[in-house]
């Protein structure tokens, strides 16, 4: 991996240092950055490294900042052979006053490497109502690479996360969870496209969406199993919880299978709050409003519980309102 | 004379446009255990749900009293806080809500919130102690409520809730079904030891087996949405031997 090319504006060494600090790149080696691009590589065998909202600082005092914000950013991440890494991207930063966010990620998980990644498109704390956020994320999984990916979105007037996973090495496996939280008149979509091109690869995708008010969410899932990808195991599920009459979802789980030696499955469910669940909770003294909140929270937790890194999981739960600061409702 | 612990007066109930209960009368005095037996589909669960205030079951006429206070129009949570309890025939799964967080919320609502007899800090210790008595492993606490639980595991969890929430009046809807022989003994013993001169129970069951441990004071035979016959503990034994035909004639 080479240092990304320098673009129209070159950054001073100071800025590069600032970037590294702000990015909290523990466990990662900095590959370089230019105006719209940065790259990092996990140090071999490092664990629980994190990258958090690294880019905004880079542009903070920059005369072209506004332009850069509008054009977006490209990030390259390499998890080298045998390494184990954890990546948490939550953002963009609400203090920047952005209205338009566009990010592209390229992530390479090399042989026998393991990556746990959480991409949280979160604009819920933004002062401006009309934030639009777009994330594209491409993964390539080499032989025996493992990906545990969680994609979460909330807050944007228009929010889109498009994820593409290529299982290009035998033994590669991906576990993907999605969670879309829609409120007000937000419109959010989640696209997950998984390609199985070689034999013996696996993918399990479960996407959850919970919508209230007049929110609308769209799930677009596609499993592509190529002619040579024998013994593929690929599953996708989409579960939707609709909390108001005016909220709605569209769900498109697609399966394209070009050989017969595969185990595949797909399906969607759309439901509102189940009166039997509410009755059960209420019969235990829990009032109706709290019962509804518990069912909703439980639904969302199904997507989040898979995050192994405790610090990240707690941060996500906090931002989603699933956890009270200083105390976990599930502590026992 | 003070009011009986629990009273059902001429209860008529409809569900999904279908009349299911046709005038149920029943009085449970403090300290008593009543058994309700009857063929499938005769309205036993309908009665249980109605007593707990399930919104799908509409009371057309009749009244329900707990310690002399009418509760017919109360919400399920209000009834629970007045210490009425229903062990469900089919406990409901709630994905993503752990048993621990559910028990805490419930205990807080019914006990800590209400009478102040249980401090939040004591909850954990109390829960652990009761779990041990019912042979429920700690690992259950972090699992989703009733999700993927076996039939018997669900019934043990219902029993745990009864013991934790300490109701004055408990309605048990087939709590014995789905339990293996050892589990039936454990659950029954935990129910039996819950009996006290102040508390009452209405035990809906198809078999004598649980009644061997929890000897009922009164046995009712249910049919066509009402009580057809009432007797002592020997009535359950006779039903086990002879079935229901002789009552229906
Ligand atoms: N929610 C409902 N919707 C439609 N019909 C119902 C509903 N609940 C009960 N019923 C009907 O009412 C009748 C009584 O049902 P209930 O469940 O009370 O019987 P039960 O005595 O508990 O039977 P079992 O011994 O099999 O548990 C049945 O005919 C049943 O189909
Ligand atoms: Mg029943």
Write out residues 144-163 of A within 8 Å (CB-CB) of B. Answer: none
Map out the domains of chain A as residue ranges: 13-273
Ligand 1: residues with CB < 6 A are: B 15-16, 18, 20, 38, 40-46, 56, 89
What's the total number of domains in chain B? 1
For B101-119, the pLDDT digits (tens) are: 999 899 989 986 555 566 6
Phi, psi of B81 (to 5 degrees): -70, -20
Hey, is the C-beta of A283 within 8 angstroms of any chain B C-beta?
yes
SS3 state at A265: strand
Q: Running DSSP on this structure, what letter comes out for residue B108?
A: I
Residue in A with minimal Cα distance to B145: A298
Tokens 């199993």 correspond to A225
Of A255, A203, A257, A200, the C-alpha closest to A225 is: A257
* Cβ–Cβ < 8 Å for B224, B42: yes
Q: Whose CA is nearest to atom 10 of ligand 1?
A: B15
Q: How confident is the model at residue B124 (pLDDT cuts 50, 70, 90)?
A: confident
For residue B34, give its domain range. Answer: 6-92+167-248
Q: Does a structural domain hold residue B55?
A: yes
CA distance B86 to A331: 26
| Distance in Å, CA B40 to ligand 1 centroid | 8
Question: Cα distance from B249 to chain A (closest Cα, Å)?
Answer: 37
CA distance A294 to A242: 15
CA distance A178 to A251: 13
Q: Is the peptide bond before A76 cis (omega within 30 degrees of 0)?
A: no
User: Which of B76, B125, B169, B173 is the best mutation test for A, with the most CBs of A within 10 A?
Assistant: B76
* Cβ–Cβ < 8 Å for A72, A104: yes
Q: Does a structural domain hold residue B122?
A: no
If one counts every other C-beta atom within 10 angstroms of the C-beta of residue A267, the result is 11
CA distance A325 to A315: 10
- Extract the tokens encoding B189: 């013993």
Q: Does a structural domain hold residue B118?
A: no
Question: Cα distance from B142 to chain A (closest Cα, Å)?
Answer: 7
B106/A284 CB distance under 8 A: yes
Q: Hey, which of B13, B19, B20, B40 would you mutate to test ligand 1's pocket, going by the most ligand atoms within 8 Å of its Cβ? A: B20
Residue B97 has pLDDT above 70, yes or no: yes
Residues 6+ apart with CB under 8 A from A178: A150, A151, A152, A161, A190, A192, A205, A206, A207, A208, A209, A219, A303
CA distance A102 to A94: 14
The complex's ipTM works out to 0.96
pLDDT at A7: 34
CA distance A133 to B25: 63
- Which residues in B lie closer than 8 A to residue A281 (C-beta atoms)? 94, 102, 105-106
pLDDT at B115: 52
Residue B96 has pLDDT above 90, yes or no: yes
| Distance in Å, CA B38 to ligand 2 centroid | 10
CA distance A102 to A97: 14
| Distance in Å, CA B42 to ligand 1 centroid | 7
Please report the number of interchain residue pairs, chain A to chain B, with beta-carbon separation below 8 angstroms.
102
Q: Does a structural domain hold residue B70?
A: yes
Tokens 């989603």 correspond to A320
* Cβ–Cβ < 8 Å for A147, A109: yes
**Percent of chain B whose predicted confidence (pLDDT) is above 90:** 86
Torsion angle of the four alpha carbons B50, B55, B56, B61, in this order, in degrees rounded to the nearest 10:
50
If one counts every other C-beta atom within 10 angstroms of the C-beta of residue B139, the result is 8
Separation of CA A150 from chain center = 5
* Cβ–Cβ < 8 Å for B154, B178: yes
Q: Does a structural domain hold residue B130?
A: no
Q: Running DSSP on this structure, what letter comes out for residue B112?
A: I
CA distance A258 to A64: 48
CA dihedral over A57, A63, A67, A73, signed as positive or negative: negative
CA distance B201 to A37: 70
pLDDT tens for the 332 residues of chain A, in order: 333 333 333 444 555 565 555 555 556 666 665 555 566 666 554 444 445 433 332 333 333 444 444 445 677 788 888 888 888 888 776 556 666 777 788 899 999 999 999 999 988 776 566 778 888 899 999 999 999 999 999 988 889 999 999 999 999 999 999 999 999 999 999 999 999 999 999 999 999 999 999 999 999 999 999 999 999 999 999 999 999 999 999 999 999 999 889 999 999 999 999 999 999 999 999 999 999 999 999 999 999 999 999 989 999 999 999 876 544 444 44
Residue B39 Cα: closest atom of ligand 1: 25
Phi, psi of B45 (to 5 degrees): -70, -35
Residue B146 has pLDDT above 90, yes or no: yes
A295/B97 CB distance under 8 A: yes
A330/B96 CB distance under 8 A: no
- Extract the tokens encoding A185: 């008149």
What is the CB-side half-sphere exposure of residue A196 using CA atoms within 13 A?
Answer: 33
Of B146, B159, B139, B138, the C-alpha closest to B210 is: B159
- Report the CATH number that the domain containing residue B82 is assigned in CATH: 3.40.50.300
* Cβ–Cβ < 8 Å for A192, A198: no
Q: Does a structural domain hold residue B241?
A: yes
Q: Does a structural domain hold residue B105?
A: no
Phi, psi of B179 (to 5 degrees): -90, 140
Q: Does a structural domain hold residue B153?
A: no
């Amino acid at each position: 991996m080479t240092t990304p090319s320098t673009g129209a504006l070159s950054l001073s060494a100071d800025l590069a240092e600032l970037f590294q600090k702000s990015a909290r790149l523990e466990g990662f080696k900095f590959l370089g950055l230019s105006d719209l691009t940065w790259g990092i590589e996990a140090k071999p065998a490092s664990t629980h490294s994190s990258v958090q909202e690294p880019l905004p600082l880079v542009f903070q005092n920059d005369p072209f900042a506004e332009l850069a914000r509008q054009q977006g950013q490209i990030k390259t991440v390499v998890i080298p052979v045998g390494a184990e890494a954890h990546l948490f991207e939550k953002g963009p930063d609400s203090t920047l006053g952005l209205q338009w966010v566009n990010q592209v990620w390229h992530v390479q998980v090399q042989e026998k490497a393991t990556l746990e990644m959480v991409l949280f498109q979160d604009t819920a704390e933004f002062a401006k109502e009309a934030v639009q956020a777009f994330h594209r994320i491409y993964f390539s999984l080499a032989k025996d690479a493992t990906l545990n990916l969680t994609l979460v979105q909330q807050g944007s007037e228009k929010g889109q996360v498009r994820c593409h996973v290529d299982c290009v090495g035998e033994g590669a496996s991906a576990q993907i969870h999605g969670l879309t939280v829609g409120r007000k008149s937000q419109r959010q979509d989640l696209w997950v496209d998984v390609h199985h091109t070689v034999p013996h690869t696996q993918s399990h995708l479960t996407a959850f969406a919970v919508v209230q008010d007049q929110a609308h969410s769209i799930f677009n899932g596609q499993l592509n199993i190529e002619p040579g990808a024998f013994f593929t195991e690929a599953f996708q599920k989409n579960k939707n919880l609709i909390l108001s009459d005016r909220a709605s979802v569209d769900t498109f789980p697609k399966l394209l299978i070009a050989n017969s030696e595969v185990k595949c499955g797909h399906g969607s469910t759309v439901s509102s709050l189940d009166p039997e669940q509410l009755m059960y909770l209420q019969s235990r003294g829990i009032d109706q409003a709290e019962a509804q909140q518990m069912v909703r929270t439980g639904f969302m937790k199904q997507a989040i519980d898979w995050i192994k890194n405790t610090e990240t999981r707690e941060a996500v739960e906090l931002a989603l309102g699933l956890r009270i600061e200083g105390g976990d409702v599930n502590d026992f | 004379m003070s009011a009986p612990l629990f009273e059902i007066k001429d209860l008529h109930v409809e569900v999904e446009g279908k009349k299911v209960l046709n005038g149920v009368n029943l009085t449970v005095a403090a300290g008593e255990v009543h058994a309700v037996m009857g063929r499938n589909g005769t309205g036993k669960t309908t009665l249980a749900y109605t007593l707990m205030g399930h919104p799908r079951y509409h009371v057309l006429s009749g009244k329900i009293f707990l310690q002399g206070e009418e509760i017919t129009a109360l919400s399920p949570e209000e009834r629970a806080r007045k210490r009425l309890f229903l062990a469900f025939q089919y406990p409901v799964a709630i994905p993503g809500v752990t048993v621990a967080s559910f028990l805490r919320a419930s205990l807080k609502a019914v006990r800590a919130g209400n009478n102040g007899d249980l401090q939040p800090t004591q909850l954990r210790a109390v829960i652990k102690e009761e779990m041990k008595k019912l042979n429920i492993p700690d690992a259950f606490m972090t699992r989703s409520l009733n999700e993927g639980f076996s039939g018997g595991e669900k019934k043990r969890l219902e029993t745990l809730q009864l013991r934790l929430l300490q109701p004055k009046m408990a309605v048990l809807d087939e709590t014995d079904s789905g339990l293996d022989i050892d589990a039936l003994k454990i659950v029954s013993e935990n129910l039996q030891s819950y009996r006290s001169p102040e508390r009452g129970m209405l035990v809906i069951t198809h078999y004598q087996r649980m009644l061997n441990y929890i000897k009922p004071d009164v046995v009712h035979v249910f049919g066509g949405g009402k009580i057809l016959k009432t007797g002592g503990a020997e009535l359950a034994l006779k039903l086990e031997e002879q079935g229901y035909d002789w009552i229906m004639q």
